[in-house]
Amino acid sequence: GLQVKLAREQTQQANDLAREETSRTNNITYLSAQQRLFETSEGAAFMHKALRTSDPLTVAEKERFTSSIALMIGLLEVGFNTHQSGLFRDNDQARAIDAVRLVYLSSPRVRKWWTYSRVAYTKNPDFVSLIDKLVADAEAAHAVSKITEAT
């Protein structure tokens, strides 16, 4: 009885520590990657052009854009998969999803990239469904804002 209870408590503590460490590592990795995209003036200017304008991108900029977005969506998927296994805290997963939604999926260019790239960069159908829903929500919000601007 007592030994089983102690073993369960130790297992729970070990799981909690693993979840904390995995969450910390995932958060640091994601934030570091995002910081690298924006940390220089040139990087911030490029990301602004790619995310917030409809200005055409050069061939090299398209490659950079694809690499940058694939990285950030890929890191979100790593967190998503880790969360599904129970090793990434709920609030950290929600924050990561919100960050991708607000920073990246608010961009029409990123949403267009997703429609063409969605099956090339991920094999987890639950993750694809999540991003598809976020993209659809962003498209609906964009349409509403266009209607509001026109009236």
Q: pLDDT tens-digit profile of 70-121?
A: 999 999 999 999 999 988 889 999 999 999 999 999 999 999 999 999 888 7
pLDDT at 111: 97
At 58, is the secondary structure helix, strand, or coil?
coil
Helices H, strands E: what count in the chain? 6, 0
**Token couple for 13:** 């503590």
**Token couple for 54:** 């409809």
Q: pLDDT tens-digit profile of 15-73?
A: 888 888 888 888 898 889 999 999 999 999 999 999 999 999 999 999 999 999 999 99
Distance CA 67, CA 74 (A): 10
pTM (2 decimals)?
A: 0.83
